[in-house]
Amino acid sequence: MSTDAKPAPRDDLRDRVLRGFALGDKSFRIVTQTCAVTVLLLLGGVIVSLVEGAAPALRQFGFGFLTSSAWNPVTENFGAAPAIYGTLVTSFIALAIAVPIGLGIAVFLTELCPYALRRPIGIAVELLAGIPSIIYGIWGMFILAPFLQEHVQPAIIAAFANVPYLNQIFSGPPYGIGIATAGLILAIMILPLISSISRDVFNTVPPVLKEAAFGIGCTRWEVVRRIVAPYTGVGLVGGIMLALGRALGETMAVTFVIGNAHKIMPSILGPGTTISATIANEFTEADGKLYTSSLVALGLVLFVITFIVLSVSRLLLMRIEQKGAR
């Protein structure tokens, strides 16, 4: 009588199922790893192409490319200082306007607004994010800029005329278009991003924490300040940095209203330019190798600025997380 026992059908089925699970898990790991490596390769390709394209301009002008205000295609003398200045100042103005308003909208929708109105108001705010940037640019050029030129900027110039330092920041003729107008347009564009992200992270606060704070006599302002804001600090910083990234790279809306003057003016009411606006305006007209290389170098500078902003935001998030863990 043979002692060799055949495997039971149930054991054979179990082995096939386990092998299928192992094969599926291995395939899933390979696919996800391939996607991650592909992203890194694409990022590396972008960096290499930018560095290669910007190399002639960087060799010609060196570090002076970042500090020079010249931009003369005829003599092939180029500098990035006005574009860098305009990019940073317009983004700062946009954040200064959009962050408090966006956080206020988020607090209102999560803490104060009646339940029947929360969804309609939230949808209305988020619809601003769906408007194309060129529509913002057209509206800013034909509606907002004339209004600012006629009613707002003259009053601001007169109000700060006798205030030291501020009379330089808010000086000059009321052009309507300019750095301040571009910053205001950017603020409107990033407002729904900040408000929607802030509202979502505010909704993650456990209700028991807020109820406990109300139970010991805290006011609604104290609950928002001492419970909601600390609990959601990481998400708020992430949303603000994401909005800043959008503001740094915006092109068409800024191009319409900033004035496209390649110079640094002390007044934010005057015209200026940004990196993305300069590239959009002049890339089709760049007929020389050095001219084209200078525009690519501007793109490389914008890439570096964005990378620095994202790195700083990541460090802030890590510090907030470590502080929360302690």
What DSSP line would sit under 3-54, residue for residue? Answer: -PPPPPHHHHHHHHHHHHHHHHHHHHHHHHHHHHHHHHHHHHHHHHHHHHHH
**Predicted TM-score (pTM) of this structure:** 0.86
83, 278 Cβ separation under 8 angstroms? yes
Tell me the pLDDT of the chain averaged across its residues: 87
- 286 or 208, which is more confident: 208
Question: Could you tell me which residues come within 8 angstroms of residue 4 by beta carbon, excluding any fewer than 6 positions away?
Answer: none
CA distance 193 to 178: 24
pLDDT tens-digit map of 62-106: 888 999 988 988 888 999 999 999 999 999 999 999 999 999 999
Phi and psi angles of residue 78, each rounded to the nearest 5 degrees, phi first: -130, 145
Residue 308 has what pLDDT? 87
Phi and psi angles of residue 272, each rounded to the nearest 5 degrees, phi first: -160, -155
- 255 or 310, which is more confident: 255
CA distance 249 to 269: 21
183, 169 Cβ separation under 8 angstroms? no
Residue 1 has what pLDDT? 46
DSSP 102-135: HHHHHHIIIIIS-HHHHHHHHHHHHHGGGS-HHH
